[in-house]
Amino acid sequence: MATFLDVTGLEQFGSLFVFIFVFLAVWAILNYFKFLGVNQVVNVLIALILAIFVLVSELATNIIYVTAPWIVIVFIFMIFFSMIMKSFGAGDSSEFSGLKALSIAGIIIAIIIGAATYARDAAPVDGEESDEGIDYGKATNIIFHPMVLGMLMIFAIAAVTVALMVKR
């Protein structure tokens, strides 16, 4: 029986979503910080090459699968925190800029440590098979499962992509 949580059809497009995610993230970072100047061709080419490298590496693709839901949760909390601060009168350049930079750096370091832990644990062990043993009878185990959160992030990226493409 097909249910709302039956997302096995999206698994076939997982590599494409990872490719698009990495490409857009790298391109946005290069455009925002202008590391290589304002030449868009160079930025797009570097983003394309890096996305292809991530797509070729199975470990890097799996790390993106695991860390993407956490990145989305961090961005959602950052947006909520920004809305709360603005509702109390803090402007765009508030006195919390140092604290904001420190907390963003801490969150990025935590995500990198989590990805490194996953990469270490993902290394094959001789003769062992891993079984997560998750009880899917509980709703919280399904809602907060990394694959479901990743699917929601993919849908959000797809919605924003389509909205931006239609806008132009």
Pair 111, 44 in one domain: no
User: What percent of the chain has a predicted confidence (pLDDT) above 90?
Assistant: 10
How much is the pLDDT for 1?
47
pLDDT in tens, 51-69: 999 888 888 888 888 888 7
Chain-centroid distance, C-alpha 105:
16
Counting DSSP H helices and E strands in the chain, the numbers are 6, 0
The verdict on 74 and 50 lying in the same domain is: no
- Whether 82 and 154 share a structural domain: yes
Whether 153 is covered by a domain: the verdict is yes
Same domain, 50 and 64: no
Q: How many domains does the chain fold into?
A: 2
Q: 82 and 47 in one domain? A: no
Please give the average per-residue pLDDT across 89-106, as a whole number: 69
- Do 150 and 105 belong to one domain? yes
Name the token pair of 113. Answer: 């440590």
pTM > 0.85 = no
Q: Is residue 44 part of a domain?
A: yes
Domain that holds residue 19: 15-56
Q: Is residue 136 part of a domain?
A: no
Higher pLDDT, 62 or 47: 47
**What is the rounded distance in angstroms from the CA atom of residue 157 to the CA atom of residue 69?**
12
51 and 70 in one domain?
no
